[in-house]
Structure 1
């Protein structure tokens, strides 16, 4: 009878110990699910330039494309009938033009360059309307005349250039500028100045 009681206590202690271990492991798993490890995101660095308060915001192509899509989708006041995407080596602009009572897709590719004042200059690389490649000056002129672009976008058809006036953006007391726009290395940096 003593052996039965000692076996019972042995099983009871092992069961209790197993339940405690399972409880601790369960709490640990739940804690990891509720509080996952924080991933590093785009850092903001403090930079002192001409005694102004300035920050550099780093991002990448995917984040910029997501931001562009959300901005175009949220712009309910104006009907913006164009699409913009940043790829590994160029910026793609697509819109639809009405030519001879027919709607045709126009596609323009640009190579970005940062201007000294922080604006983004897009040098036109290729132009295609439908399946027909066209001279860039004429298509940029048609886009400038017939597509309603945001006020910060200026088209210079004769130079085959589009200027994004990032330096004219103001938000919360900050002005902005492009610092680096390196598509091949997927590094895009903006400067925020107060």
Structure 2
């Protein structure tokens, strides 16, 4: 943020630049604090949603806005942040909250919308890339958790492995999730190393 920008943008910048950390930390804390098949499968489905978004980006090959600082080697449609925020907002509300009108659900939605506005404000994505990403994330989450498909997976998991998860399963999923979330940074580092050699 430059010193010429209005002070009103500071909260938007703080919230918008924190979404990756807040979302990842919240998911990890949910799984570690509850250690239930539901929380594990919720996190796993969020990771699959992220992979789905990355596949869509590679397939659609739509560029980010012209002024984007992230134009090299990364597509813009759909916004991965928007996809994740839509998925987690919808899934959290369906699974853990009484309704979409509960104060926590509305708070999550407001946080998500501010984070997405930041993506547009900083030319990281266009408005359509953010809208499509958020709506796809909501749809994915509804298809998994709103239709009962995901809860059938939880029932199968509980009947097969019990209700309490081992630390090994949690650590394995955390490593897999961290790799999925940071794939761009890993790819950039590998290209940098290849250029040096």
TM-score (norm 1): 0.24
- Structure number with greater Rg is 1
More helix by share: 2
Higher-RCO chain (CA-CA 8 Å, sequence separation at least 6):
2
